[in-house]
A and B are shown apart, each in its own frame.
Chain A
Amino acid sequence: MGNKPWPFVVAGFGLLLLAWGTIWGLAFAPKEIYMGDVQRIMYVHVPTAWNTMLVLTFAFACAVVSLLRGGWGWDARLEASVEAGVVMSILVCMQGSLWARPTWGVWWDWDPRLTTTAVLVFAFGGILALRQFVDDPVKRAVWSAVAVVIAYVDVPLVYFSVRWWNSLHQVQSTPNTVSRAFHWPLRINAFGVLFLMIGVIALRARVAFLRRESELAPPRPSAPAVAAGAGGVR
């Protein structure tokens, strides 16, 4: 999988963008007319939500390629993207909860968007657990790829839930429904999270690949056996 330093560069660039977008969103962007300052949560919640879907879509692509072509590289990318997707899904729920309390008056509601997002956490978290329980690397790769393809059904459900069912959560915003004053911090943070996650997933995939290599490597001879081999067996 290589050991070039590009993931550090990409992740570092992502962090710089996030710092820039956050300062803009907190200090310079105007208040929203109804939600006031609470709307500033949008600059971190929406980019995380967009990128969660992207990361899980990448996991789905890795699963399909892994099933069709095989190869430990794709299994390593799958493991990395599923783990990052679970972390980001949990973060989206926490940010959403902190936005829901002052605007809806509750921390959580079993509305379609929130419920389908919670399902994401448990479905993909379950796949990480499955990978821990299976010792055979080949079975682990195949079973988790199949599980990712099945769990991915929930991703379009999360996206369309606000359109298909009555939901407390608002429908997706578009450039036509968001004031221009809010565009830049939102976009900068979206690219910040994207670059950070590209770097982190690439690095995490290398970790998975190195672990798989050591798992599949033949056992090293123990020290007495080496000594006996070097000195000859009497």
Chain B
Amino acid sequence: MSGVITGGWEYVRAAYVVSAAILLGYAFSVYWRYRSETRRDRR
């Protein structure tokens, strides 16, 4: 046992994919709600 971690790219990829999905998904959900609220407000 050297104590050095080898490989692990699958965890790195998963962390970046999860981060992108959550941050972009949340940003789009806020944009979507903003669009529907401003449309309702204009009516």
Contacts and interface: CB of A to CB of B under 8 A. Distances in A.
Nearest to B14: A98
Number of contact residues on A: which range applies?
35 or more
A142 B24 CA distance: 31
B5 A87 contact: no
Interface residues of B, number: 26
A41 B12 contact: yes
A102 B11 contact: yes
Q: Is the interface of B mostly helix, strand, loop or mixed?
A: helix
A91 B18 CA distance: 8
Given A95-B15, A200-B27, A210 B41 contact: yes
B30 A37 contact: no
Contacts of A171: none
Contacts of B4: 33-34, 36
A34 B4 CA distance: 5
Given A99-B11, A210-B37, A211-B37, A44 B30 contact: no
Contacts of A169: none
A103 interface: yes
Contact of A84 (B5, B14, B16, B26): B26
Interface stretch (A67-75, A153-161, A201-209): A201-209
Contact of A207 (B9, B14, B37): B37
A178 to B, nearest CB: 18
Contacts of A11: 27
A101 interface: yes
Contacts of A37: 7-9, 12
A35 interface: yes
A90 B22 contact: yes
A211 B33 CA distance: 10
A48 B27 contact: no
Contact of A214 (B16, B34, B40): B40
B8 A22 contact: no
B5 A36 contact: yes
A214 B41 contact: yes
19 contacts: A11-B27, A33-B4, A34-B3, A36-B8, A38-B8, A40-B12, A41-B15, A44-B15, A45-B15, A101-B11, A102-B8, A193-B23, A196-B27, A200-B30, A203-B30, A204-B30, A206-B37, A207-B34, A211-B37
Interface of B: 3-9, 11-12, 14-16, 18-19, 22-23, 26-27, 30-31, 33-34, 37-38, 40-41
